[in-house]
Structures are given as C-alpha cells and as structure tokens.
Amino acid sequence: MKTICAAAMLSLLLLTGCTSAQDSGVHSRELFAMDTYMSLKAYGAHAEEALGEAAAKINDLEGQLSVTDTGSEIYAANHAGGSAVPISAETAAILQEARRTAAESGNALQISVYPLVRTWGFTTGEYRVPADSELAALCTHVGDARISFDSSTLTVPADMEIDLGALAKGFAGDAAAEIMRRHGVTSAIINLGGNVQAVGTKPDGSKWTVGVRDPFNENQLCGTVHVADKAVVTSGNYERCFTAEDGTKYWHIIDPASGRPADSGLCSVTVIGGSGLRCDALSTALFVEGTERAAAHWRACSDFEMVLVTAEMIYVTEGIAGDFSVGSTLPFEVLRR
C-alpha cells in the first residue's frame, strides 16, 4: 500500500514571541487558497481593512492563475488549441519571471512540466510511478521556449500545458504585502503555506523570526532565520510526496530533463529576498539544480540568499548567515562568494 508523507499544515512556522501591550492592535485572517492553508497577521489602525483586501486579492489570483479552474487565464491558454488568449499584466509578469529563472538555471524551472506532475498523481492524489517510456514521451512536450506571450496575450502550443504553481504563491505574497503597505501597515507577517512574507518588523522593532522545518522531522526545525521586509520561501522533498510499494519516496518537484522527481541531493531549499515571486521561482529551480549548481547560481546573482539542507549538511549563504540560527545536529557551512 502507498502511504502519503505527513506534512505540517504550514511548512514554515512563525516564531513571533510573546504578545506585549504594544501588540494590542493585532488583527489576523486565515483562509484556504491555492491548495494550502494561509494565515495573515497585521498590526495597526488599518490592519483589518488591509487583511480583508489582501485575502480577497489572494482568492482573485487563485481564480486567475489556477490550472484547473475553467474560468482561469491558464486554463483558457491550456485549452485553446494553440491559439492566443488574453491575459492580465499580472499573469504576464509571472510568466516573465518564469522565463528569467529558466534562463538563469539552465531550464531547471519549466512551467510546462504540468502533464508530468499530473501523471505522477501529485495534482490528483492518485499516486503512481509511471513507466520510463511514458515519462520519455511526456518529456518531449516540455520546453518553455515554445510558449509565447506579451503583456496582454499568451499562446501555449496545442501539445503542451503549463502550470504557474511554482510562482503563484510568491506573487500572491508580494500582492498582499503591497496592499498592507498601501494601507499604512508597517508590521505584518503573511504565511502562504511555506511562503512567508514579512512586512517591516515586529511592532517592537525587532526582526521577524521564521523557522525552517527539518526535512527529516516534521515536528522540529533545522534552523531559524531573522528577517525584516523580506520573503522567505521553502521547497522541500517532504511536501506533496508519497512512498511507493517498494519503499521508494517520490516528491512533486519534477526535474524537467528526466520527468522524475528531482534527485539532486537536496532535501530542502529556503530562499530569502525582497520579492516573493522571485524567491518562489528560485526555490524550485535551486532544488532541481542541486548544491553545486545552486551555489554557482547564487554567486552569479546579488538579489537573494539561501539555506540548503542535505542529508549531511546545512549550507547558508554569507549574506544571511548572521541572521540564521542552527537548530539541527547537522554540520553547518557558510557559502561565500
């Protein structure tokens, strides 16, 4: 019998400390969207209004970007038989980030892997291990370079389907954070099921503390990172996974080159940066790349930091090392440029 891996409701735990008198203006909102539980917390006079608008925006984006909602832009593009369909500027921005990340990572991120993800059962819950011949055939239809788009239209080839699941929550986090700032909120924490967006600092001026889950124990942390006005996004092999009858574990992050779950040696990747969209896309790409390629990728860029966890080691880039506290017995190494 196949068993599904147990995962915490939220793969990143927020450690915000005790509530003091000055925190009395706290407001919170919870919702289920984009196939995950989300929690939003904000402080200040206009926090409640901001939270309501942010929650509505997240739900709107789900309807716009969902691969299964028949009214979404992505569903329309996937079922247009190769014809162009109208899209919003927001969808175009996400597609542009997907293209940028693909170019940086040697195509480690490909939004056209959706049929492969579905075939493994990660979108349906009907898990199975496809035959090599089936995977090889599906891989011939993977290649984001064949997708064309501009600021208002998208064309997906008739033999291809795309899914923006590797970027949508990151974009939603950015949108929610922008709504907070527009309402004058200077202290908020947005947790979109593994995608954490920190607006400003805590009300007392200290940084937010975000716990990174131990990939080997869902009830423990392998470390914590302290951030202000940053996104913290994690992808791991413990999310949306199953164990086959022979005891082999499979997870939903697919290597576009093989059509199989990425076996790069990494167990989790946490990306820290100013853009949730950017961090979301990178967390998937870096996981597929593996430690050495991910380190080279980081050294070629200047807009993100990362925490890589393998079965033997935790690697933390130097830009965040001073704000990272190890909570694991694994050895710890700082990656430098």
pLDDT in tens, 126-184: 999 999 999 999 999 999 999 999 999 999 999 999 999 999 999 999 999 999 999 99
Would you say 272 and 178 are in contact if contact means Cβ atoms under 8 Å apart? Answer: no
Range 229-257 average pLDDT:
94
For 264, which DSSP code? S
* Widest Cα–Cα separation across the chain: 63
User: Per the domain annotation, does 281 fall within a domain?
Assistant: yes
Q: What CATH number is associated with residue 213? A: 3.10.520.10
Q: Does residue 331 sit in helix, strand or coil?
A: coil
Domain range holding 199? 3-17+26-45+188-335
* Mean pLDDT (whole number) for 204-214: 96
Q: Do the domain assignments include residue 39?
A: yes
Q: Is residue 105 part of a domain?
A: no
Please tell me whether residue 330 adopts helix, strand or coil conformation: coil
Q: Residue 51: what are its φ and ψ, rounded to 5°?
A: -65, -40
Distance CA 147, CA 162 (A): 9
**Six-digit token string for 188:** 């908020």
Q: Say which residues have a Cβ less than 8 Å from residue 324's Cβ, sequence separation at least 6.
A: 223, 224, 225, 226, 307, 316
Residue with tokens 């966890």: 309
In the sheet where 195-200 sits, what is the strand order? 26-33, 36-43, 187-191, 195-200, 231-236, 266-273, 304-310, 314-317, 332-335
C-alpha distances (whole Å) from 318 to each of 215, 236, 303, 332 are: 22, 21, 13, 12
Residue (of 62, 36, 58, 98) closest to 281 by Cα position: 98
Amino acid 24: pLDDT:
53
pLDDT score of 243 more than 60: yes
Number of domains within the chain = 1
User: What is the pTM assigned to this prediction?
Assistant: 0.93
List, for residues 223-234, the tens digit of each pLDDT value. Answer: 999 999 999 999
| Six token digits for residue 304 | 């993100």
The SS3 call for residue 13 is strand
Domain assignment of residue 229, yes or no? yes
Strands 266-273 and 231-236: antiparallel
CA distances from 6 to 174, 192, 215, 240, 241 (A): 28, 18, 11, 9, 9
Lowest mean pLDDT among 16-20, 41-45, 46-50: 16-20
Does any domain span residue 74? no
* Amino acid at site 326: V
Q: Tell which residue, 267, 202, 189, has the closest CA to residue 232.
A: 189
What is residue 144's DSSP assignment? G
Q: Is 244 part of a structural domain of the chain?
A: yes
Decide if pLDDT at 72 tops 60. Answer: yes
Q: Is residue 222 part of a domain?
A: yes
Q: Give the range among 136-140, 159-163, 218-222, 290-294 with minimum mean pLDDT.
A: 218-222
Residue 61 has pLDDT above 50, yes or no: yes
Averaged pLDDT, 51-69: 97
What average pLDDT does this structure show over 304-315?
Answer: 97
pLDDT band at 23 (very low <50, low <70, confident <90, very high): very low
Residue 158, domain member (yes or no): no
Closest to 3 measured CA to CA, from 182, 283, 296, 241: 241
Q: Which carries the bigger pLDDT value, residue 336 or residue 194?
A: 336
